[in-house]
């Protein structure tokens, strides 16, 4: 008998939950012995289980992980029984540009300062949209830079560098 | 009753208090709390008007900024954002048939029709009047019901708290839309993610993978911004932008005499229903507005007009969503249990300020508690006074295209998250949770239950551990007759699950029968 996946959404959701559940079980209890024997060393240590009176750090996450895996299994079973929607198309363009732009901001902020990091974020994220107009994005980044320097650094005194670290004297004070 | 008034007096004094504030090196004496309330409601209206950004993302964005504020000022502002968003959402719903806020989905139905008939003005005014009335009444409800409830809650032990949290989470899941199992799974995943970091009892570092930034756990703000903020932006960018503002003249705002007559009863019913639904765990503005619209359609004499521009269809849900938004503060303020994602963020805000949410807040910090309640009333008044004249400005804002909006939102989110610990790692985590949120949405899993679980995870583990220690490891302690309150919570949770599971079962059976015959 061939199993037919009737609900793509539930199938993948079920797998995701089972994955997360197993992940938390394994990391709280440690890898099982048969895997340790194959590898030759204890792969993942795990935490103390404790008893139901004195619960160790592994107790609650292991129980919850088990619950999550069981729930995932139920969702998975449901997906071959009941019809459901397909997984809607993933749009990788906005996903990629939004993620990269926030990472760029985060890792550029300390070396390059708030001004350049903000400009980087605005430009990269703008590429994720449907249309990209150079002039518009440029104006927007100038406005946003002025706003965030005034509000976040001056008024709220967040400890952000404004200028790049390699410039000795910052023109903006 | 007298106690209430003296308590409210404490609150109003706190709200209008003059404070010396140092801002950017200058010290000024200002009624700071009222100012923060104003900023909160204006900001709330703004994001309420703009589709594509909601109160959850906004409050998450502002949480790091509230580090520097006094607790009361921070909470007043954040609360203002939530109920201000309910006001703003209706404007968008009426003028462009798009819910500016998820809770104004039903306002679109009749509000937009009214606008098309050239009665946008009265529709907007009705929404404002209904919201204001409901806001005033529900503020009183909070003032009346919160103290006795907190008194009961003070007697709760760890067993009661554990059961209460289970009930709260179950109720939140049950009342949410979509698949029940998947929602429960999201709660459990949230609980698990909440456990990352140092275990309070043993000091063991859990699920940190040697990353030093994870020792304190995953920041709540980081998760909320990723799952809601980033995810929302990506989802919005998927669709081609098509936003047509109903720019025809709003016209006279004044509703006619006939309108007034027709809106009184729906406003009253909406307020009562909204207040009741707001208190329930999992309730809040969204559920309240849907409930009120359905009820009104059933009982109204003019039910044939619904969907064609019935003023009742605007008045009732608008009253209900504002009432629900405010009464959902009751479980937060008295029990320390969030009933929806916004309340979870409010708990986060309290924790940032070093306040443990729970029944003791009212007795230990009466200024904070009553100040917040008084601020809700003041905030509602400001909203109704400011918003009707400002409608023109809000309409202009609607013409701002999303491609200008989202880089700004993203920048503020990145700055906010970065400032939590001044490390780039938090932004990295935010991006990861954005990805997780996006995947979850694609797989039909709601992110809101995960947030609730995330905030309750550590609390639940601690209470569970204590309860088990006190009962010497007896798991039946939660339903033992010696703990009737805890037993009641557990029974209620089970009942809720059964009730919700039943119709699904029935439906499935029906489908089977249909296939057989």
Reduce the DSSP state of residue A169 to 3 states and report it. Answer: coil
Q: What's the sign of the alpha-carbon dihedral B226, B230, B236, B238? A: negative
The predicted structure's pLDDT at residue B170: 84
Q: B300: helix, coil or strand?
A: coil
CB B445 within 8 A of CB B238: no
Enter the ipTM. Answer: 0.90
A120 vs A158: which has the higher pLDDT: A120
Across the interface, whether the CB atoms of B201 and A71 are under 8 A apart is answered no
Interatomic CA distance for residues A61 and B189, integer angstroms? 10
Residue B215: pLDDT band (50, 70, 90) is: confident
For CA atoms B306, B307, B311, B315, the dihedral sign is positive
At B62 the pLDDT is 81
CA dihedral for B256, B260, B263, B267, sign (positive or negative): positive
Burial class (CB in 10 A: 0-12, 13-18, 19+), B123: buried
Report the distance separating Cα B244 and Cα A3, nearest Å: 47
Contact of B332 with B338, CB cutoff 8 Å: yes
What distance in Å separates the CA atoms of residue B90 and residue B45, rounded to the nearest whole number?
10
Q: What is the pLDDT of residue B369?
A: 85
- What is the DSSP-derived secondary structure letter of residue B243? -
- Residue of A102, A127, A141 to mutate when probing chain B, most B C-beta within 10 A: A102
Give the model's pLDDT for residue B433: 93
User: Which stretches within B422-483 are classed as H helix?
Assistant: 424-442, 448-470
- pLDDT at position A40 over 80: no
Instruction: Name the closest residue on chain A to residue B410, using Cα atoms.
Output: A102
Task: With a cut of 50, say whether residue B90 has pLDDT above it.
Answer: yes
Rounded to two decimals, what is the model's pTM?
0.81
From A90-94, B298-302, B309-313, the region with the lowest mean pLDDT: B298-302
Residue A14, pLDDT score: 92
Q: Using an 8 Å Cβ cutoff, are B104 and B89 in contact?
A: yes
Cβ of residue A126 closer than 8 Å to a chain B Cβ: yes
Q: What pLDDT band is residue B503 in, cutting at 50, 70 and 90?
A: low
Dump pLDDT digits (tens) for A128-147: 877 778 888 888 889 888 88
Least confident of A141-150, B169-178, B323-332, B436-445: B169-178
pLDDT tops 90 at residue A21: yes
Helix runs in B155-256, H state only: 158-175, 180-194, 220-224, 231-238
Other residues' Cβ atoms within 10 Å of the Cβ of residue A77? 13
Task: Tell me the shortest Cα–Cα distance from B504 to chain A, in angstroms.
Answer: 12
Give the residue-averaged pLDDT of B322-334: 85
Task: Name the residue in chain B with its Cα closest to that of A15.
Answer: B443
Which pLDDT value is given to residue A20?
94
Confidence band (pLDDT; 50, 70, 90) for B245? low
Q: In chain A, what residues touch B430 (CB-CB under 8 Å)? A: 102
pLDDT value of residue B192? 92
Residue B342 reports pLDDT greater than 80 = yes
Q: Which two tokens stand for residue B465?
A: 């551990």
Q: Given pLDDT bands bounded at 50, 70 and 90, which one contains residue B432?
A: very high
pLDDT band at B435; cut points 50, 70, 90:
very high
Phi, psi of B28 (to 5 degrees): -135, 155
Contacts of A52 in chain B (CB under 8 A): 468, 473, 475
Could you count the other beta carbons within 10 Å of the beta carbon of residue B107? 32
Find tokens 């008045």 and name the residue: B315
pLDDT band at B512 (very low <50, low <70, confident <90, very high): very low
What part of A 63-102 touches B (C-beta under 8 Å)?
64-65, 67-68, 71-72, 74-75, 78, 82, 84-85, 87-88, 90-91, 93-95, 98-99, 101-102
Of B187, B171, B194, B462, the closest CA to residue B328 belongs to B171
- CA angle B158/B164/B165 to nearest 5° reads 90
Check residue A40 and give left, alpha or beta (phi > 0: left; psi -120 to 50: alpha): left
On whether the CB atoms of residues B43 and B81 are closer than 8 A, the answer is yes
Q: Cα separation of B283 and B276, whole Å? A: 9
* Lowest pLDDT segment from B126-135, B217-226, B274-283: B274-283
Phi, psi dihedrals of residue B71, rounded to the nearest 5°: -55, -45
Average pLDDT over residues B75-104: 81
CB atoms within 10 A of CB A168: 6
Backbone φ, ψ for residue B401 (5° rounding): -70, 155
A160 DSSP 8-state letter: -
Taking the CA of residue B236 and the nearest CA in chain A, the distance in Å comes to 9
Domain ranges of chain A: 8-81, 92-155
The whole-number pLDDT of residue B506 equals: 52
Backbone angles phi, psi at B197, to 5 degrees: 120, -165
For the segment B458-487, what is each residue's pLDDT rounded down to a tens digit?
A: 888 888 888 888 888 777 878 778 888 888
Q: Using 50, 70 and 90 to split pLDDT, how confident is the model at B146?
A: confident
Distance from CA of A121 to the nearest CA of B (A): 7
Please report which confidence band the pLDDT of residue A172 belongs to, taking 50, 70 and 90 as the band edges: low
Nearest to A105 by CA among A122, A88, A86: A122
φ and ψ at A156, to 5 degrees?
-90, 0
Phi, psi of B126 (to 5 degrees): -60, -45
Q: Give A-chain residues touching B418 at CB under 8 angstroms.
A: 105-106, 109, 160
Identify the residue among A8, A47, A57, A137 best suited for mutation to test binding to B, counting B beta carbons within 10 A and taking the highest: A57
| Pair of tokens at residue B490 | 């557990």
| Contact map slice: B 167-196 vs A, CB within 8 A | 179, 181-182, 184-185, 188-189, 191-192, 195
The predicted structure's pLDDT at residue A87 = 80
Quickly state the pLDDT bin for B251 (edges 50, 70, 90): low
**DSSP tag of A89:** P
Given a contact cutoff of 8 angstroms between Cβ atoms, the answer to whether B89 and B100 are in contact is: yes
Nearest-by-Cβ selection for A74 from B181, B199, B425: B181
pLDDT at position B516 over 50: no
CB contact under 8 A, A109 and B404: no
> What confidence score (pLDDT) does residue A173 get?
57
Q: Three-state DSSP class for B198?
A: strand
- Residue that wins the pLDDT comparison between B381 and B177: B381
Q: What is the CA radius of gyration of chain B?
A: 23
Per-residue tokens: B107: 């306002």
Q: Copy the structure tokens of residue B375.
A: 């601020």
A110 touches chain B (CB under 8 A): yes
Q: What is the mean pLDDT of chain B?
A: 81
Chain A partners within 8 Å of B206 (Cβ): 27-28, 47, 57, 61
More confident: B204 or B196: B196
Task: Return the exposure string of A105-144: e unless at least 16 CB atoms fall within 10 Å of the residue's CB, then b.
Answer: bbbbbbebbbbbbbbbbbbbbbebbeeeeeeebeebbeeb
Q: Average pLDDT of B493-506?
A: 74
What is residue A70's predicted lDDT score, i.e. its pLDDT?
93
**Interface contact B233, partner A, CB < 8 A:** yes
Structure tokens that stand for B485 in this block: 């309150």
Cβ B329 vs Cβ B139: under 8 Å: no
Residue A104 has a pLDDT of: 92
Start-end of H helices in chain A: 8-29, 33-39, 59-81, 92-126, 134-148
Please tell me if residue A154 touches chain B, with a CB cutoff of 8 Å. Answer: yes
Tell me whether residue B17 is exposed, middle or buried, using C-beta atoms within 10 angstroms of its C-beta: 0 to 12, 13 to 18, 19 or more.
Answer: middle
Residue B513's pLDDT band (boundaries 50, 70, 90)? Answer: very low
Residue among B85, B105, B116 at smallest CA distance from B250:
B116
Query: Which H helix or E strand runs over B50?
Result: none
- By C-alpha distance, which of A147, A123, A124, A146 is closest to A135? A123
> B423 in helix, strand or coil?
coil
């Amino acid at each position: 008998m061939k199993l037919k996946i009737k609900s793509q959404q539930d199938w993948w959701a079920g797998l995701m939950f089972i994955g997360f559940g197993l992940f938390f079980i394994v990391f709280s209890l440690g890898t099982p012995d048969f895997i340790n024997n194959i590898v030759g060393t204890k792969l993942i240590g795990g935490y103390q289980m404790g008893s139901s009176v004195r619960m160790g750090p592994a107790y609650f996450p292991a129980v919850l992980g088990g619950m999550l895996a069981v729930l995932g299994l139920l969702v998975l079973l449901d997906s071959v029984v009941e019809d459901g929607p397909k997984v809607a198309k993933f749009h990788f363009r906005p996903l990629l540009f939004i993620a990269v732009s926030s990472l760029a901001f985060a890792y550029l902020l300390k070396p390059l300062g708030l001004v350049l990091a903000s400009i980087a974020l605005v430009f990269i994220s703008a590429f994720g949209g449907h249309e990209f107009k150079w002039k518009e994005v440029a104006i927007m980044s100038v406005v946003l830079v002025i706003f965030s320097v005034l509000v976040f650094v001056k008024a709220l005194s967040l400890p952000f560098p404004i200028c790049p670290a390699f410039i000795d004297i910052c023109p903006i004070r | 009753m007298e106690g209430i008034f003296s308590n409210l007096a404490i609150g109003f004094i706190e709200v209008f208090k003059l404070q010396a504030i140092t801002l950017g090196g200058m010290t000024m004496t200002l009624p700071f709390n009222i100012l923060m309330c104003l900023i909160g409601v204006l900001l709330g209206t703004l994001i309420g008007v703009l589709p594509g950004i909601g109160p959850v993302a906004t409050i998450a964005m502002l949480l790091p900024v509230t580090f520097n504020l006094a607790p009361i000022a921070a909470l007043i502002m954040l609360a203002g954002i939530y109920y201000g968003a309910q006001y703003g959402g209706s404007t968008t719903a009426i003028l462009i048939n798009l819910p500016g806020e998820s809770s104004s989905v039903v306002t679109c139905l009749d509000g937009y029709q009214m606008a098309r008939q050239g009665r946008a003005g009265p529709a907007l005014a009705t929404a404002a009047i209904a919201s204001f009335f409901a806001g005033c009444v529900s503020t009183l409800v909070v003032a009346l019901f919160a103290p006795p409830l907190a008194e009961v809650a003070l007697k709760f032990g760890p067993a009661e708290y554990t059961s209460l949290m289970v009930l709260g989470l179950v109720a939140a899941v049950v009342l949410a839309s979509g698949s029940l199992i998947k929602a429960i799974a999201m709660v459990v995943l949230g609980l698990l993610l909440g456990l990352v970091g140092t275990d309070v009892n043993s000091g063991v570092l859990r699920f940190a993978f040697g990353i030093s930034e994870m020792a304190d756990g995953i920041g709540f703000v980081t998760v909320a911004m990723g799952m809601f903020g980033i995810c929302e932006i990506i989802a919005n960018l998927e669709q081609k932008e098509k936003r047509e503002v109903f720019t025809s003249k709003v016209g006279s705002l004044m509703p006619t005499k006939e309108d007034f007559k027709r809106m009184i009863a729906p406003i009253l019913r909406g307020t009562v229903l909204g207040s009741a639904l707001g208190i329930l765990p999992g309730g809040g503005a969204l559920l309240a507005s849907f409930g009120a619209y359905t009820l009104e359609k059933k009982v109204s004499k003019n039910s044939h007009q619904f969907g064609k521009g019935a003023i009742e269809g605007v008045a009732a849900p608008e009253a209900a969503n504002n009432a629900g938004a405010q009464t959902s503060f009751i479980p937060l303020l008295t029990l320390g249990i969030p009933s929806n994602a916004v309340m979870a963020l409010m708990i986060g805000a309290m924790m940032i300020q070093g306040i443990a949410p729970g029944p003791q807040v009212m007795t230990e910090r009466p200024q904070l508690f009553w100040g917040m309640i008084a601020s809700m009333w003041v905030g509602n008044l400001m909203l109704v006074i400011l918003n009707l004249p400002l409608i023109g400005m809000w309409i202009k804002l609607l013409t701002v295209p999303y491609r200008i909006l989202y880089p700004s939102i993203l920048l503020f989110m990145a700055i906010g998250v970065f400032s939590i610990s001044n490390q780039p790692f938090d932004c990295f985590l935010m991006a990861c949770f954005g990805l997780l949120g996006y995947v979850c949405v694609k797989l039909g899993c709601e992110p809101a239950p995960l947030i609730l679980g995330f905030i309750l995870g550590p609390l639940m583990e601690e209470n569970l551990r204590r309860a088990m220690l006190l009962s010497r490891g007896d798991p039946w302690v939660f339903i033992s007759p010696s703990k009737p309150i805890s037993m009641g919570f557990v029974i209620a949770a089970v009942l809720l699950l059964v009730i919700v599971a039943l119709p699904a079962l029935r439906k499935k059976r029906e489908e089977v029968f249909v296939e057989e015959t």
